[in-house]
Amino acid sequence: MTARFPLALCCAAFYGLVACSSPADKIVAQVYDAQLRVEDLQGMQPSYEVQDSFTLHPALLSAWIEKQALVHAARTALHGKEKNFDRELQNYYETLLVNAYENKEVERRLDRQVSEEEIRAYYNSHKADFEMHKNIVQINYAKFPIGHPSLPTVRKLLQKGKQRSEAEQEKLFRLCYQEAENMYLDFNWVVFDDILKEIPIETYNQAQFLQKNESLELTDSSSVYMVQFLDYKINETYSPLDLERDNISKIILRQRRNALLRQIRKEAVEKAYQEHEVTTEFKD
């Protein structure tokens, strides 16, 4: 009868073996003919170094023992074709090889510059893809600690909205960048629902709220929120280009990548034919 040892005992023996600063080829665990050596531990636990007096986490050791026991059971129970995976392994290797080649070629040949004209053209020709029916706003806001000395200046600059001069815009940005807890000073359109996640505005009727409020100042236990609404659109049918620019750029790059992959595959086939390396017994 074969003796069976509990995992705790295996772990204890394992710890004792590793703690002796064993050479890299030292066997530290064994299941049937499978052996775990000190040099194998790096792959199982990257933080391990051979020269260290180190212990492997019991869960990793348990997983290795289980895997080797199952491999042995499978080899014993399966016969002939049941355990012949040469074709599957070859297909998997070829797939990995082709993917590595295609990714290398795409990385080398893909043009990643997407012009504003391309983005606008895509947006205008795919308007139906950008339906949203949401309230959108142009907004500037800044969040400062209560009592902060820059509050009066920031408040005054925010209230000027789009009438701020370039110098005033730079001053506002500098103050907020250096001292604000949070800010948004662009003039792009944003979804009002996203603003409500950042600013503690309470409203049950967004349209009515936006129609009645041009500026707003709110406080909580520690901060002041100064908000200036520059413009708004109620139940806007289409998501504005400002919101979709990054997404469209990614779509265009994905289209380019797919087109490039088709070109790479076509070139490989054409080259094989040109070099007379394709033979077939099948008739066209």
| Per-domain residue ranges of the chain | 7-76, 132-238
Specify the pLDDT at position 21. Answer: 47
In b/e form, how buried is each residue of 138-177, taking b as 16+ CB within 10 angstroms? bbbbbbbeeebebbeebbebbeebeebeeeebeebeebbe
* Structure tokens, 68: 């080797």
> How far is it, in rounded angstroms, from Cα 189 to Cα 214?
16
Low-confidence ranges of the chain (pLDDT < 50): 1-5, 7-22, 52-53
What is the C-alpha separation between 53 and 21, in angstroms, rounded?
A: 6
- What is the C-alpha separation between 231 and 211, in angstroms, rounded? 10
Q: What is the DSSP annotation of 100-152?
A: HHHHHHHHHH------HHHHHHHHHHTGGGGEEEEEEEEEEEEEEETT-TTHH
Model-level pTM greater than 0.85? no
User: Tell me, what's the pLDDT at 51?
Assistant: 52
Q: What is the CATH number of domain 132-238?
A: 3.10.50
**What pLDDT is stored for residue 112 in this prediction?**
95
